[in-house]
């Protein structure tokens, strides 16, 4: 029994720490990883112009960031062809998902997602007293039809879908997402997580008006722009919904150097395209490494590859552990049948060299 | 009537944007400020070692920050002579106050603070459905006795006190805070905001065991360490309460370069002491400038000075506006009788030169 009586929702939450970072694993094993390929970070890094801008901003860090992120918001609006009022910046998609949950979820309200989809979204739903209704993946992809059916059936006002998907890397055609949006009940809001959109084929990106009242999209500088540690994400949605964030957000919460870095990164679309090409090459290389070891890489429209280990979850887990023992940091899906796979982020060649060397050794330690 | 039905607490919150940054004011006036002295930022800046560490960290920003902020947490524990389990890092005190409100406040619950004290705390209390009970300042200082009485009378579990105080710069002896803590009801938790502690005389800092179940303290790298734009604050409190943050916080929310910069800043205590001395000199200079213009600077244990303009709130507001028109960014207290004052942050000499030049001109424009 705690000496501290937490508020009702917080009191009902698990006391365990829900997320483990690679640094924690490194401290446990007593050595740094040779290859950091578990968190879908982008080891090709941010634009040199963004690095330079952030380095320059360091000496001005005594100033709070602009609470409106005005320049970045306007630049993103121009980039996406929407109004600045359709954009809300936040400390990564994670923070924005938390704010959206807080803004929308009445305690006990049902929220729809896929079993095995982004755990941080589930964490926020539970964290604001929502109840999750999950539907299964279909053929290693999120299933828009099942999500739609569950939304209709439960009367849910929030439905989460990532396209492309994490942790499987699968994706749907934009037209299929558009059809799902058209079929949504009037009261439903699709949370379309497009964290990996820049890696996907153009055909995977749906055309949705920013003022469509049934969709809020999320994008980030953490993945293709290579700035995960900066914490810059943004929502695109109807102005009236976007304005709701101003009621509850931490207005001075953005790191000033991150704002400046993101602006520079956005302006360097050439770098972005180079990185996207390098990531595509790394995806192919991971496929080759997997195949050379009798494993099968699944198709991916992201900066990671789910590799089917061909057996059950405990085998995949054992392989993950054996790779970790050799200094390779990876993660794996949490739910069957996707948890027959391990998930490998697309890193630079030297990191993949370590993977290529460690994988046969790790496999040899298993029965 | 909104198309979007927000959750009950969010729906009841004001739709207006509660905070205005200096950049917004600059955009409105169409020119940058000559002196940025309104947000209690520290224009003397962070340690050059911190700047260098952040600049170096820019190229590694593709990595997420350590969700445990392990190194920084351990360094802070050593610095304060407490256990790492007594420390929680967050994206500034603002974010941590929000998390504490979320962790502790049941909807409708009464929370005690002083009328005119930190508005962001009030914003978070309202944001989680709490009800504020305020007591007046006494002699331009927060009143521990009145806060204690209101806590006892309402049975409040949360009571906010900043020592030194913002916006007045006043402070209490540590012994007085210790006496207040001893007198708190068993169920009460004092939120002791020590954002400005490093500027205060040692006698103002109470001696409180980290495991004292009635106190949680907040410190920051935004003020004396000169890193407001980095967003690094921390709580010191009983391990069981501190662990509660892990249920709800955004685990990967910290900017990685900010973590690294704060660690370097903490290690450079010489720089900190130099800055504290420069701030003290700037306080004196603000007093001299005020006196030369017939105004009276109040005593301060912070990096800002409340200057008594000798008349009412509309006069102080008019002076603030006249100074803003001349390129001087300041703020003022929001509640009578403290709002007879304007609040001036301690900046470098060139900024205070601008203030010295603008103040007589601004006064001359008033009746």
Q: Which of A348, A276, A272, A268 is nearest to A52 (CA)?
A: A268
Q: Chain A residue closest to B241 (CA)? A: A4
Kindly report the nearest CA distance between residue B204 and chain A, in angstroms.
25
Domains and CATH numbers, chain A: 20-45+270-365 (3.90.1150.10), 48-267 (3.40.640.10)
Mind telling me how many Å the CA of B311 is from chain A's nearest CA?
31
Contacts of B253 in chain A (CB under 8 A): 91-92, 94-95, 231
Backbone angles phi, psi at A301, to 5 degrees: -110, 30
CA distance A122 to chain B (A): 12
Phi, psi of B323 (to 5 degrees): -70, -40
Mean pLDDT of chain B: 97
HSE at residue A89, side-chain half, CA atoms within 13 A, is: 29
Quote the pLDDT of residue B209.
98
Inter-axis angle of helices B144-154 and B174-183, nearest 10: 10
Which pLDDT score, from 0 to 100, does residue B188 have? 97
CA angle A88–A93–A96, rounded 5-degree value: 55
pLDDT on residue B45: 97
> SS3 for B248?
coil
Q: How far is A24 from chain B (nearest CA, A)?
A: 8
Q: Do B227 and A27 make contact, defined as CB atoms within 8 angstroms? A: no
- Helix B313-325, helix B22-29: angle, nearest 10: 70
Contact A46 B61 (CB under 8 A): yes
User: How far apart, in Å, are the Cα atoms of A155 and each of A150, A184, A215?
Assistant: 8, 10, 16
- Say if residues A212 and B47 touch (Cβ distance below 8 Å): no
Q: Measured between beta carbons, which residues in chain B are less than 8 angstroms from residue A108? A: none
CB contact under 8 A, A24 and B70: yes
B66 vs chain A: nearest CA distance in angstroms?
6
- Give me the percent of chain B exceeding a pLDDT of 90: 97
- Residue A17 contacts B, CB cutoff 8 Å: yes
Q: How far apart are CA B225 and CA A94, in angstroms?
A: 28
pLDDT of residue A16: 84
List, for residues B118-177, the tens digit of each pLDDT value: 999 999 999 999 999 999 999 999 999 999 999 999 999 999 999 999 999 999 999 999
Three-state SS for chain A is CCCCCCCHHHHCCCCCCCCCCHHHHHHHHCCCCCEECCCCCCCCCCCHHHHHHHHHHHHHCCCCCCCCCHHHHHHHHHHHCCCHHHEEEECHHHHHHHHHHHHHCCCCCEEEEECCCCHHHHHHHHHCCCEEEEECCECCECCHHHHHHHHHHHCCCEEEEECCCCCCCCCCCHHHHHHHHHHCCCCCEEEEECCCHHHCCHHHCCCCCCCCCCEEEEEECCCCCCCHHHCCEEEECCHHHHHHHHHCCCCCCCCHHHHHHHHHHHHCHHHHHHHHHHHHHHHHHHHHHHHHCCCEECCCCCCEEEEECCCCHHHHHHHHHHHHHCCEECECCCCCCHHHEEEEECCCHHHHHHHHHHHHHHHHHCC
B213: distance to nearest CA of chain A, Å?
A: 8
Tokens representing A233 are 């994400």
The rounded Cα B339 to chain-centroid distance in angstroms is 18
Select from B14, B51, B189 the Cβ nearest to the Cβ of A58.
Answer: B51
CB contact under 8 A, A127 and B252: no
Is B45's CB within 8 Å of A23's CB? no
Query: What's the CA gap between B243 and B256, in Å, rounded?
Result: 22
Query: So what's the pLDDT on residue B1?
Result: 40
CB pair distance less than 8 Å for A257 and B54: yes
Indicate the pLDDT class of residue B309, thresholds 50, 70 and 90. very high
Q: In this predicted model, what pLDDT tens digit does every residue of B6-16 receive, in sequence order?
A: 999 999 999 88
Nearest to A263 by CA among A95, A79, A91, A60: A79
B81-98 confidence digits (pLDDT tens)? 999 999 999 999 999 999
Of A3, A64, A157, the CB nearest to B213: A3
Segment B186-242, tens digit of pLDDT: 999 999 999 999 999 999 999 999 999 999 999 999 999 999 999 999 999 999 999
Find residues 160-189 of chain A whose CB sits inside 8 Å of chain B: 187, 189
* Beta strand A189-193 pairing with A158-162: parallel
Cβ-Cβ contacts under 8 Å, B64 against chain A: 21, 39, 41, 222, 228-229
Please tell me the predicted confidence (pLDDT) of residue A2. 59
Q: Per-residue pLDDT tens, chain A, 367 aa: give them.
A: 457 899 999 999 998 888 899 999 999 999 999 999 999 999 999 999 999 999 999 999 999 999 999 999 999 999 999 999 999 999 999 999 999 999 999 999 999 999 999 999 999 999 999 999 999 999 999 999 999 999 999 999 999 999 999 999 999 999 999 999 999 999 999 999 999 999 999 999 999 999 999 999 999 999 999 999 999 999 999 999 999 999 999 999 999 999 999 999 999 999 999 999 999 999 999 999 999 999 999 999 999 999 999 999 999 999 999 999 999 999 999 999 999 999 999 999 999 999 999 999 999 999 7
Alpha helices in chain B (DSSP H): 8-11, 22-29, 48-57, 70-80, 92-104, 119-127, 144-154, 174-183, 239-244, 256-267, 269-292, 313-325, 349-365
Tokens in use for A281? Answer: 């090459």
- Chain B residue whose CA is closest to A93: B253
Please indicate whether, in this complex, the C-beta atoms of B61 and A229 are within 8 angstroms of each other.
yes
Cα-flanking dihedrals φ and ψ of residue A302, to 5°? -130, -170
Q: How confident is the model at residue B3 (pLDDT cuts 50, 70, 90)?
A: confident
User: What are residue B35's DSSP bridge partners?
Assistant: B328
Label residue B2 by pLDDT band (50, 70, 90).
Answer: low
């Amino acid at each position: 029994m705690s000496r501290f009586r937490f508020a009702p929702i917080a009191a009902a939450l698990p006391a365990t720490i829900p997320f483990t970072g690679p640094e924690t694993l490194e401290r446990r094993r007593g050595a740094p990883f040779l290859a950091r390929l578990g968190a879908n970070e982008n080891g090709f890094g941010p634009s040199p112009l963004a690095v330079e801008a952030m380095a320059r901003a360091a000496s001005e860090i005594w100033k709070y960031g602009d609470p409106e992120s005005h320049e970045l918001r306007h630049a993103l609006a121009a980039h996406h062809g929407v109004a600045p009022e359709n954009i809300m910046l936040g400390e990564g998609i994670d923070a924005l998902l938390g704010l959206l949950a807080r803004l929308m979820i009445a305690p006990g309200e049902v929220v729809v997602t896929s079993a095995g989809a982004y755990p941080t979204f589930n964490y926020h739903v539970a964290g604001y007293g929502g109840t999750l209704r999950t539907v299964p993946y279909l053929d290693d992809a999120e299933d828009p039809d099942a999500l739609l059916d569950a939304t209709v059936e439960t009367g849910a006002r929030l439905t989460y879908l990532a396209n492309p998907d994490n942790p499987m890397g699968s994706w749907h055609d934009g037209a299929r997402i558009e059809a799902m949006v058209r079929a949504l009940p009037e009261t439903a809001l699709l949370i379309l997580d497009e964290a990996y959109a820049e890696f996907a084929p153009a055909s995977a990106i749906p055309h949705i008006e920013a003022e469509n009242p049934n969709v809020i999209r999320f994008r980030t500088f953490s993945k293709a722009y290579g700035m995960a540690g900066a914490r810059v994400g943004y929502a695109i949605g109807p102005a009236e919904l976007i304005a709701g964030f101003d009621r509850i957000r931490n207005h001075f919460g953005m790191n000033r150097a991150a704002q400046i870095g993101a602006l520079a990164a956005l302006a360097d679309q050439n770098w972005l395209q180079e990185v996207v090409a390098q990531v595509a090459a790394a995806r192919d290389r991971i496929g080759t490494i997997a195949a050379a070891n009798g494993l099968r890489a699944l198709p991916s429209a992201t900066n990671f590859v789910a590799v089917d280990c061909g057996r059950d979850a405990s085998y995949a887990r054992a392989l993950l552990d054996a790779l970790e023992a050799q200094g390779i940091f990876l993660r794996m899906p949490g739910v069957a049948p996707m948890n027959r796979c391990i998930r490998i982020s697309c890193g630079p060649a030297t990191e993949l060299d370590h993977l290529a060397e460690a994988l046969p050794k790790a496999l040899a330690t298993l029965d």
